[in-house]
Structure 1
Amino acid sequence: MKYLFFTLLFVALSSLLLLGFLLAFLFYPPLYGQGTVEVKVERGEPLSSVVRKLKDHGVISNEKLFSLWARLWGLDKKIHWGLYRFERPLPPRRVLNQMMLGKGVFHRITIPEGLTAKEIAELLEKGALASKDRFFAEARSLEFLSLVGLEGKGIEGYLFPNTYYFTPFAAERDILVAMVEQFREIFNAQMKEQSKEIGLSLHEVVTLASLIEKETGIEAERPLVSAVFHNRLRAKIPLQSDPTVIYGLKSFSGSLTRKDLQSRSPYNTYRIRGLPPGPICNPGLASLRAALYPARVPYLYFVSKNDGSHLFSMRLGEHNQAVKIYQSGKQRHPRP
């Protein structure tokens, strides 16, 4: 009986000692290691490998205790992949919390409305987030387009403009998928229903929105520009949108020439009737909404007032008069 008592006492004291040692390990930083270190956790990397990296970088002092605590509380399956920056010395508890909450290093990048896929690739490369060549090659690959449900359409128009946060080692495909998924989230069921209501496919709506995005940067004008294009489509009048011509050119000097307007590009809306074959940029939400909900106005024309805004007209005579007023002395050609 006495033997059993002492055995239980020994076990209890040992357990308390172990618990105290474990708590001390968790709540107190290592006695060595100063400065900032970065540890990269790969997607799907096992806990043992992550713990080894933490030890090698001097973030923790004891691999076994760290692993034991993580597994006891089921935390080993809750560690997020990413790049982590640790300010040493740091208690192991905070190290684990940081990785459980996914508080890694992220690069912030804002994709403005109206950029082409090529321009987005260049912006990402400038921000050291991607190789523009790999990004563009991935965006055009049939395998990727099939993966995101854009086979036969292309990526242009579906890279939604927004502010994104990516890990420094995010793959080009991960970045593309994030942007396409953001587009699908934004273009909700109500918008899909409205596209059916106005008799346009999703691709046609995005294409029209891209024209609106390029034609005006003033939000209040977007429904008016949309109305002009809708009215022209119904009347089977060429859209005559300069940005579509520019998009179809192999090179652009900065001003459209008569030769440019006669180009046989499928994007030349001075020659073709209806919409071009696809989007000419990646439009934002305001332009998508404008494409779906045009203003109820009879306008068929608009001209730049040289201050970013436009004057809208219903009749050609009115439009020509506006062109004389606002485009006097400038090289100009007929357009909506």
Structure 2
Amino acid sequence: MIRHFRLSLAVFAAALAIEGLWLLADGSRPFLRSQETVDLDFPRGTSTQKIAATLESSGVIRSRITFLALFYLGGRQTLMAGEYSFEHPASTLDVLRKLERGEIAYKVLVIPEGFNRFDIADAVAAAGFSSREEFLRVSENHSWIADLDPHTQNLEGYLFPDTYHFPRKTGPEQIARAMVDRFRAVLSELKVPASPQPLRDVVTLASLVEEETAMPEERPRIAAVYRNRLQRGILLQCDPTVIYAALLENRFDGVIRQSNLNSASPYNTYVHRGLPPGPISNPGRASLLAALRPEPTDYLYFVASPQGGHTFSRTLSEHNQAVSLYRRSLKQ
């Protein structure tokens, strides 16, 4: 009797081992019925059985039975909700691990330094997160930055340029919030010293610097030029502010015209002294640092150089000579 029981137990154990080996072998075989990417969304609360059935019917796995057996026999606890992308043949075990780890599908959103909020809205729309209009509405929620800039009317200047990775169904509010949070993090890293100068002025100056040059070594020098002109009460005469004013009025066609230079817009620094009312773009770390720590110099002017970058001058006479040289180079 005991011998018979032991034999039966051995047979049962062998059967379990064979079944386990079969499950492991079946679960390890790559499978994806379609040659195209399969995108699936599993909302929070979706049952494991429902996930398995969806994976099978979508052609991601061969058998939901194998999937469920591997899930339960492996002592696994949970599968993560979210949107997943299955791009090439993977085994049932691979799919199971992907869901356990929550390797959801992300979209990349690249925001270059110097993008204004209208540019960012275009980028967000192009990436398929929301419409341009939706993001622009969100970018007017100045309450998110009111503790740092109580006078701002929108988030211009505080949507930090960076490369972001968002789940595919991320909304415009989450995107804008992430950019503001990134700005705060960078500001903290820069260790901004206590100063009577409002942060708004720092960010506004940084946005002018960002628009004027892409050369890192020039940024502190350009910040110094504008600081020196501000201290002497000289018009900044910053072309990017004229362009921004025209954009706000929907009157910019790609060329700065005399009508733009004569505009009464408060952003027109050819007409109004001092900084414009607020940032004209969203500056990066280097431009923020330049605005905080301008180069110690007495330059008051700069113009594009035939060799690239800019030529800096201390007097109007020197500046006019540099302008003439640049204009001659354009005719050659």
Per the TM superposition, whether the score is higher than 0.5 is: yes
Q: How far does the alpha carbon of each residue in 1:263-302 deviate from its partner, in whole angstroms, 9 at most, with x for none?
A: 2322122333332222101222221221122111111222
**For 1:165, what is the secondary structure of its paired residue?**
strand
Query: Which segment is superposed worse, 315-324 or 154-163?
Result: 315-324
Alignment CA distance shift 1:21-1:281 (3 Å): same
Residue of structure 1 in register with 2:225 after alignment: 228
Alignment CA distance shift 1:74-1:233 (3 Å): farther
- Following superposition, the deviation at residue 204 of structure 1 comes to 2.3
**For 2:38, what is the secondary structure of its paired residue?**
strand
- Following superposition, the deviation at residue 231 of structure 1 comes to 1.7
Instruction: Determine if contact 1:116/1:280 at 8 Å carries over to the other structure.
Output: yes
Alignment of 1:115-126 (within 5 A): 115-126=115-126
Alignment CA distance shift 1:242-1:51 (3 Å): same
- One-letter amino acid of the counterpart of residue 203, structure 1: R
Alignment CA distance shift 1:147-1:291 (3 Å): closer
Residue of structure 2 in register with 1:271 after alignment: 271
Residue of structure 1 in register with 2:305 after alignment: 305
Are 2:256 and 1:244 equivalent residues in the alignment? Answer: no
Alignment of 1:143-292 (within 5 A): 145=144, 153=152, 154-189=154-189, 191-194=190-193, 196-197=194-195, 199-249=196-246, 250=249, 251-292=251-292
- One-letter amino acid of the counterpart of residue 81, structure 1: G
Unpaired stretches in structure 1, ≥5 consecutive residues = 331-336
- Following superposition, the deviation at residue 21 of structure 1 comes to 4.7
Instruction: Determine if contact 1:41/1:50 at 8 Å carries over to the other structure.
Output: no
RMSD between aligned alpha carbons?
A: 3.5
**Number of paired residues?**
323
Residue of structure 2 in register with 1:333 after alignment: none
Instruction: Determine if contact 1:39/1:53 at 8 Å carries over to the other structure.
Output: no
Residue of structure 2 in register with 1:26 after alignment: 27
**For 1:76, what is the secondary structure of its paired residue?**
coil
- One-letter amino acid of the counterpart of residue 50, structure 1: I
**For 1:114, what is the secondary structure of its paired residue?**
coil
Distance in 2 (alpha carbons) for counterparts of 1:216 and 1:237: 21
Alignment CA distance shift 1:149-1:39 (3 Å): farther
Alignment CA distance shift 1:303-1:59 (3 Å): closer
- One-letter amino acid of the counterpart of residue 202, structure 2: V
Instruction: Determine if contact 2:145/2:155 at 8 Å carries over to the other structure.
Output: no
Alignment of 1:36-51 (within 5 A): 36-42=36-42, 44-48=44-48, 49-51=50-52
- One-letter amino acid of the counterpart of residue 206, structure 1: V
Alignment CA distance shift 1:35-1:257 (3 Å): closer
Q: How far does the alpha carbon of each residue in 1:54-81 deviate from its partner, in whole angstroms, 9 at most, with x for none?
A: 122122344455345446544525x362
Instruction: Determine if contact 1:106/1:167 at 8 Å carries over to the other structure.
Output: yes
Alignment CA distance shift 1:202-1:81 (3 Å): farther
Alignment CA distance shift 1:173-1:306 (3 Å): farther
Alignment CA distance shift 1:209-1:327 (3 Å): same
Unpaired stretches in structure 2, ≥5 consecutive residues = none
- Following superposition, the deviation at residue 166 of structure 1 comes to 3.9
Pick one of 76, 87, 90 that aligns with 2:78: 76
Distance in 1 (alpha carbons) for counterparts of 2:148 and 2:27: 47
Distance in 2 (alpha carbons) for counterparts of 1:329 and 1:310: 14
Query: Which segment is superposed worse, 115-124 or 293-302?
Result: 115-124
Instruction: Determine if contact 1:59/1:86 at 8 Å carries over to the other structure.
Output: no
Residue of structure 2 in register with 1:99 after alignment: 99
- One-letter amino acid of the counterpart of residue 82, structure 1: E
Q: How far does the alpha carbon of each residue in 1:130-186 deviate from its partner, in whole angstroms, 9 at most, with x for none?
A: 42222222222467x479987753221222223333444433333333333333333
Distance in 1 (alpha carbons) for counterparts of 2:30 and 2:146: 46
Residue of structure 2 in register with 1:54 after alignment: 55
Instruction: Determine if contact 1:148/1:180 at 8 Å carries over to the other structure.
Output: no
Q: TM-score, normalised by structure 1?
A: 0.79
Distance in 2 (alpha carbons) for counterparts of 1:68 and 1:148: 54
Distance in 2 (alpha carbons) for counterparts of 1:277 and 1:44: 45
Instruction: Determine if contact 1:39/1:54 at 8 Å carries over to the other structure.
Output: no
Alignment CA distance shift 1:179-1:162 (3 Å): same
Instruction: Determine if contact 2:45/2:81 at 8 Å carries over to the other structure.
Output: no
Alignment CA distance shift 1:237-1:146 (3 Å): closer
- Following superposition, the deviation at residue 6 of structure 1 comes to 7.4
Alignment CA distance shift 1:242-1:259 (3 Å): same
Alignment CA distance shift 1:37-1:75 (3 Å): farther
Distance in 2 (alpha carbons) for counterparts of 1:290 and 1:67: 58
Query: Which segment is superposed worse, 155-164 or 281-290?
Result: 155-164
